[in-house]
Amino acid sequence: MAAATVVCPTLVPAVIAAPTAEGAQYPPGLGIRLLDASLSRKKDPRARISIDDFVHPGDTLTRHFLISDGDNRPFNVKIYARAAKIVDGNFAIVDKQPGEIPQWTSLDRSSATIPPQSAVTVTVKISIPKTAPKGEYYGALLAELPPPPTHQGVAVGARVGLRVYLAVGPGGEPASDFTVDTLTAARNEHHVPVVTAEVHNTGGRALDMAGTLRLDHGPGGLSAGPFPATLGTVLAPGQTEPVVVVLSKDIPDGPWHARIDLQSGLLKRAAEGEILFPSGAGETSKPVAAKSIPLTKNRDVIVPIAIALLLFLMILLFLIWWRRRKRDDDDDRPATS
Amino acid sequence: MRKSIALAVTAATTAGLAAFVPTAADAASCTVTTLNCGASTATTFTITGGTLSISVPDTADLGTYASSATGTTVQGLLTDASNTPTVVTDTRGGLLDSWQVAVTASDFTTGGGTVPETVLGSTVTAWSGNVTVTNTGGTKTQTTSTAPVAATGALPIASNTGYAGNDSASYTPTISVLVPGTNASGTYSGTITQTVS
């Protein structure tokens, strides 16, 4: 009830985003940013920087983005859409092959002249055909700043891109999920310990991985971390890719109990394993199977469950107390009559 | 009399539980939106934060090389006479925001652009070398790529891996290409484009 009254009135003004404050400073060069996203994804970090949505065949998605010029000369930019694919953990923009996203996308302008230290707003409409097969579609909206045309030799161009992750299908959005299959301890050529987690995307949406690794029960009871996992590993549904955590050089070989906490958007998973770093630089230990840590050990799940249980217990206690009171009353009655 | 008090208390407790559910699962509020306002993707919110930007030197000179029958490796830094680096600035503000830079090359041609006067863009490679990343935590140097990466856009040459939040990264990539021995001598012109996403 509360949700409906809050949500609907924002529908009209929400798409008209105020792009630039007067005299705003843009970082040097060509910039891009998304101006709006689906309200249902407000808490999802990926949806704040990419067009990330689930849509039904026949739907049309309208979004706005901004292209900025942070230099002291005007920019003549080309604006277009390209397909993309997820290969080897990377989001790769495909320039030379057609794809669904460019076919479905229409932009309100294909070029723009941006004055120095200012920006333009572009409206993008992505119309999903009624016949679109169920699946994940990737692409990018690009602004290109070509180099000055008169030059002989190597000219350097710049492009900025806004990623598009679209899931298309009937019914509800496919669930996202992943497992951590193995943990591998290694030392790189500089003797720095590195842990690699094999992550398997078992859900129906692409994942952007982030997370941390902690070590404990080490030599002499040592513990270490958290160490940040390398950001930006992207996995399409069904893919398995390594997520790398680089540790500090002074970490002894172990053995250690390692716990890795990984997340993509709002989805979180944890896994643990016993690892031992090799002593030599450039060496890799045998991968160990990672044991999934049940979700109930995660705070985000256990706290709401605990609150719910507590409330339930309170009601139960109250009912028992009330029934006893009632029985006492009933017991009293025959005695008085 | 006692009975009515009990009902009031249990009703309040269940209301408390019900109010708790939508905040725990945002999906519940989406369903309401869909029913009342059409498709949920039509209801949007405004994103605050800055841009993801890239600044590159306009031109670069990879140098002059003597041609050789076995082919000539042309290799140099992608920077202009004043050593302008490539700078990526991420002010989007998300803690988990990552970015990557991929390189694409056009064909390089000289003269009339016939086959012996063309170096295919797909044979060009690039790597980032040291990337100096500055964020609120200070400045660190990392290396994304030291080995040649094909300039086809498939693999990144630089990324902000491991540096959360707003950051600024500066580097001067190296460009390398093998000009076949059968190619004509001349000044070859083409475009190297760096794409950040």
Put simply, whether A29 touches B (Cβ < 8 Å) is: yes
Name the nearest CA neighbour of A242 among A265, A211, A216. A211
What confidence tier does B164 reach under pLDDT thresholds 50, 70, 90? low
Query: Has residue A125 got a pLDDT over 90?
Result: yes
Rounded mean pLDDT of B80-104? 89
Q: How far is the C-alpha of B183 from the C-alpha of A286, rounded, in Å?
A: 49
Q: Is B78 on the interface with A (CB under 8 A)?
A: yes
Bond prior to A174 in cis (omega within 30° of 0): no
Please report which confidence band the pLDDT of residue B11 belongs to, taking 50, 70 and 90 as the band edges.
very low
Give the C-alpha separation, A102 to A117, whole Å. Answer: 29
Rounded (10°) angle between helices B26-37 and B2-24: 90
Cβ pairs A/B, distance under 8 A: 277
Residues paired with residue B177 on neighbouring β-strands, in sequence order: B74
Closest residue in B to A166 (Cα–Cα): B41
pLDDT for B79: 93
Indicate whether this complex's ipTM tops 0.85.
Answer: no
Q: Is the pLDDT of residue A274 over 90?
A: yes
pLDDT confidence band for B130 (50 / 70 / 90): confident
User: What pLDDT was estimated at residue B142?
Assistant: 72
Q: Indicate yes or no: CB of A33 within 8 angstroms of CB of B30.
A: no
pLDDT-wise least confident of A107-111, B67-71, B121-125: B67-71
The winner for highest mean pLDDT among A28-42, A321-335, B130-144 is A28-42
Tokens 């290969």 belong to residue:
A87
Of the candidates A265, A314, A262, the one whose C-alpha atom is nearest the C-alpha of residue A290 is A262
Query: What tokens does B12 get?
Result: 């309040």
Taking alpha carbons only, the member of A83, A255, A57 closest to residue A169 is A57
Chain A 181-210, residues with CB within 8 Å of chain B CB atoms: 208, 210
Nearest residue of B to residue A321, measured between CA atoms: B6
HSE, CB side, 13 Å, CA atoms: give it for residue A255.
Answer: 7
- CA separation for the pair B99, A158 (Å, rounded): 15
Name the 3-class secondary structure at B146: coil
Angle, helices A299-336 vs B2-24, to 10°: value is 170
Separation between Cα atoms, residue B100 and residue A90, nearest integer Å? 9
b/e map of A311-336 (b: 16 or more CB within 10 Å)?
eeeeeeeeeeebeeeeeeeeeeeeee
Could you check whether the bond before residue A255 is cis, i.e. omega within 30 degrees of 0?
Answer: yes
Tally helices (H) and strands (E) across chain B.
2, 16
Burial of B33 (0-12, 13-18, 19+ CB in 10 A): buried
Query: Which has more confidence, B147 or A192?
Result: A192
Q: Taking a contact as any Cβ pair under 8 Å apart, which residues of chain B between 112 and 141 contact chain A? A: none
Q: How many Å lie between the alpha carbon of B180 and the closest alpha carbon of chain A? A: 18
B27 in reach of chain A (CB within 8 A):
yes
pLDDT value, residue B48 = 85
How much is the pTM?
0.77
Q: Quick check: A92 contacting B, CB < 8 Å?
A: yes
Separation of CA B36 from chain center: 38
Mean pLDDT, rounded, for A124-146: 95
pLDDT, residue A8, reads: 36
**DSSP reduced 3-state for B147:** coil
Query: Which pLDDT tens digit goes with each residue over A294-313?
Result: 865 556 666 778 888 999 99
Chain A CB contacts of B155 under 8 Å are: 88, 90, 92
Dist CA A247 CA A223 (whole Å): 12
Q: Do A39 and B45 touch (CB under 8 A)?
A: yes
Using CB atoms within 10 Å of the CB of residue B73, give its burial: 0 to 12 exposed, 13 to 18 middle, 19+ buried.
exposed
DSSP-derived letter for residue B189 is B
Residue of A nearest to B41 (CA): A38
Supply the pLDDT for residue A324: 87
Q: Among A296, A251, A245, A300, which Cα is nearest to A276's?
A: A251
Least confident of A184-198, A297-311, B24-38, B106-120: B24-38
Query: Of A121-135, A165-179, A274-288, A301-315, which range is least confident?
Result: A301-315
At residue B40, does pLDDT exceed 90? no
Q: Give which of B14, B35, B41, B103 to mutate to test A binding, by max A Cβ within 10 Å.
A: B41
Tell me which chain A residues have a C-beta less than 8 angstroms from the C-beta of B196: 159-161
Name, in order, each residue with C-beta under 8 angstroms of B113's C-beta and a sequence gap of 6 or more. Answer: B107
Whether B103 contacts chain A with CB within 8 A = no
Residue of higher predicted confidence among A122 and B44: A122
Q: Note the pLDDT of residue A150.
A: 66
* Residue B15 in tokens: 């209301």
The shortest CB-CB distance from B92 to any of A4, A33, A319 is to A33
* pLDDT at B136 (0 to 100): 74
How far is it, in rounded angstroms, from Cα A6 to Cα A12?
12
Q: Which residues contact B176 (CB under 8 A, 6 or more apart)?
A: B73, B74, B75, B124, B125, B126, B148
